[in-house]
Amino acid sequence: MDLTEKHIVIAGGSTGIGFEIARQAQLKGAHVTLMGRSAEKLTNAEKKLPLRASYVQCDIGDAESAKEGFKQVGPFDYFISTAADLTYAPLAEMETGAIDRMLAGKFWGPVNLVKYGLKNIKEGGSVVLFSGLAADRPAPGTSMVSALNAGVEGLVRALAVELAPIRFNGISPGVVDTEGWAFMPEQDRKGFFASLETSLPARKVGAPADLADATLFTLVNPYLTGEILHVNGGGNLV
């Protein structure tokens, strides 16, 4: 895959899966722009990437901030959003502020992309939005996460029709070993991952590279639109 002279914008690209997508895209020749709320995370990510990247500090879930951010980004070929600020708790116990934060990153971010960013997308461009396994396999404490992921997938399919020929696709990851699991004590985390390695059909926990490979394929395939690619080791089957 050759991404030479392609400009890829990644919301949520300073850590985890988004960072690995940025790294792999650079190695394939792309110029990468990272979008995020934290200037510290953005500068740290830029230093760790193999090549120089651009970054824009903004809150993609806030309309005015996103509008200004996309002005700074300028023309681009591809957009990816892995951004999410998720809270796992029974819906009746969740504070409104937590729900608002979840909506901002996961849902309003893509909406603001359409409203303020797509005027800058080049011919042949495409968008990849991240949903998640909870859209298909909800569990107690995941009501809002499940609803948001399902909403993202519905948005992907609708926009693929509404805004054609711009291509819209989704990636639905399962459990991926990133720093996002740091909240869990190490022994508990190891035990959880070990249980997945025996229960998942793929017999492994996801790595950021697994998702990066799938994302870049989805991004550039000219005959793929309106689809949700499940990259979860078979997690939706068991």
- Domain range list for the chain: 7-176+208-229
pLDDT tier for residue 207 given thresholds of 50, 70 and 90: very high
Straight-line distance from the first to the last Cα atom of the chain, in angstroms, rounded to the nearest whole number: 33
Residue type, 125: G
Q: How far apart are CA 95 and CA 100, in angstroms?
A: 9
Mind listing the pLDDT tens digit for each residue in 58-89?
Answer: 999 999 999 999 999 999 999 999 988 888 99
What pLDDT, on a 0 to 100 scale, did the predictor assign at position 181?
Answer: 85
pLDDT tier for residue 183 given thresholds of 50, 70 and 90: confident
Q: For 175-201, what is the mean pLDDT?
A: 91
Q: How far apart are CA 206 and CA 214, in angstroms?
A: 12
pLDDT tier for residue 49 given thresholds of 50, 70 and 90: very high
Residue showing tokens 């792999």: 24
What pLDDT, on a 0 to 100 scale, did the predictor assign at position 179?
Answer: 85
Q: For 189-212, what is the mean pLDDT?
A: 95
Q: For 87-104, what is the mean pLDDT?
A: 93
Share above pLDDT 90 across residues of the chain, in percent, rounded to a whole number: 92
What pLDDT, on a 0 to 100 scale, did the predictor assign at position 85?
Answer: 86
pLDDT tier for residue 136 given thresholds of 50, 70 and 90: very high
What pLDDT, on a 0 to 100 scale, did the predictor assign at position 86?
Answer: 87
Q: How far apart are CA 16 and CA 13, in angstroms?
A: 7
3-state secondary structure of 33: strand
What pLDDT, on a 0 to 100 scale, did the predictor assign at position 108?
Answer: 95
Q: What is the DSSP string of 12-28?
A: TTTSHHHHHHHHHHHHT
Q: For 165-176, what is the mean pLDDT?
A: 97
What pLDDT, on a 0 to 100 scale, did the predictor assign at position 40?
Answer: 95
Q: Which of 126, 107, 122 minimizes the C-alpha distance to 227?
A: 126
Record the pTM: 0.94
What pLDDT, on a 0 to 100 scale, did the predictor assign at position 180?
Answer: 82
Q: How far apart are CA 80 and CA 128, in angstroms?
A: 5
**Superfamily in which the 7-176+208-229 domain is placed by CATH:** NAD(P)-binding Rossmann-like Domain (3.40.50.720)
Q: How far apart are CA 162 and CA 3, in angstroms?
A: 27
pLDDT at 184 over 90: no
Q: How far apart are CA 73 and CA 97, in angstroms?
A: 29
pLDDT at 230 over 90: yes
